Amino acid sequence: MKSYGRIRQVLILQAIIFVYSVNSIAAKLASGQEAFSGLFLLYCGLEVLVLGIYAILWQQAIKHFDISVAYANKAMVLLWGLLWGVVFFGDRVSAGKLAGIAMVIAGVILINRGEHGNGAESNTAREEEGAAGEDLPGGGRS
């Protein structure tokens, strides 16, 4: 059952990264407008809104992951960027782009299947192992 919980956490993390990727659509649309025009400001406002929502969700999500795992998952934004480019802006997909995205996906899968679990579990395991060192400010150990 623990595996199901981990899969659910990773899917939630990926949904948050999807939200982040929507920002690229607004940014690209804004870039095609005259600076400070109504549409430019609208798209910039949409960027700020999306990034604000993302920031709140991201802060909650990283509680459940080692920071290295969470940030490695952000690489999936490359897949979403490719998709948004094709769907909204007529970008072309090359074999090289597909190969690169496949490597990124494979890397993210490998990282998510790692042995260390989430941040809380990893920290607990290190404490149980009796990591040597003195306590540091902020609750860390040297």
Q: When comparing pLDDT for 16 and 2, which is higher? A: 16
Q: Could you report the per-residue pLDDT of 48-83, keeping only the tens digit for each?
A: 999 999 999 999 999 989 999 999 999 999 999 999
User: For 36-50, what is the mean pLDDT?
Assistant: 98
DSSP conformational letter for 139: S
pLDDT(131) > 80: no
Q: Could you report the per-residue pLDDT of 18-31, keeping only the tens digit for each?
A: 999 999 999 999 99
Number of domains observed in the structure of the chain: 1
Q: When comparing pLDDT for 38 and 137, which is higher? A: 38
Question: Considering the domain boundaries, does residue 140 fall inside one?
Answer: no
Q: Give the pLDDT of residue 92.
A: 97
Q: Give the pLDDT of residue 113.
A: 87
Question: Considering the domain boundaries, does residue 135 fall inside one?
Answer: no
Q: Could you report the per-residue pLDDT of 96-126, keeping only the tens digit for each?
A: 999 999 999 999 999 998 755 444 444 444 4
Which ranges of 2-142 would DSSP assign to H, the alpha helix? 2-31, 38-61, 67-73, 77-89, 95-112, 119-128
User: For 1-9, what is the mean pLDDT?
Assistant: 81
Question: Considering the domain boundaries, does residue 124 fall inside one?
Answer: yes
Q: Give the pLDDT of residue 80.
A: 96
Question: Considering the domain boundaries, does residue 142 fall inside one?
Answer: no
Range of the structural domain that residue 68 is part of: 2-128
Q: Which of 137, 109, 110, 139 is nearest to 123 (CA)?
A: 139
Question: Considering the domain boundaries, does residue 54 fall inside one?
Answer: yes
Question: Considering the domain boundaries, does residue 8 fall inside one?
Answer: yes
Q: Give the pLDDT of residue 2.
A: 65
CA–CA separation, 129 vs 65, rounded Å?
19
Question: Considering the domain boundaries, does residue 134 fall inside one?
Answer: no
Please answer whether residues 28 and 89 qualify as being in contact, where contact means their C-beta atoms are separated by less than 8 angstroms. Answer: yes
Question: Considering the domain boundaries, does residue 139 fall inside one?
Answer: no
- By the 10 Å C-beta count (0-12 exposed, 13-18 middle, 19+ buried), 61 is classed as buried
Q: Give the pLDDT of residue 3.
A: 78
Please state the pTM of the whole predicted model. 0.75
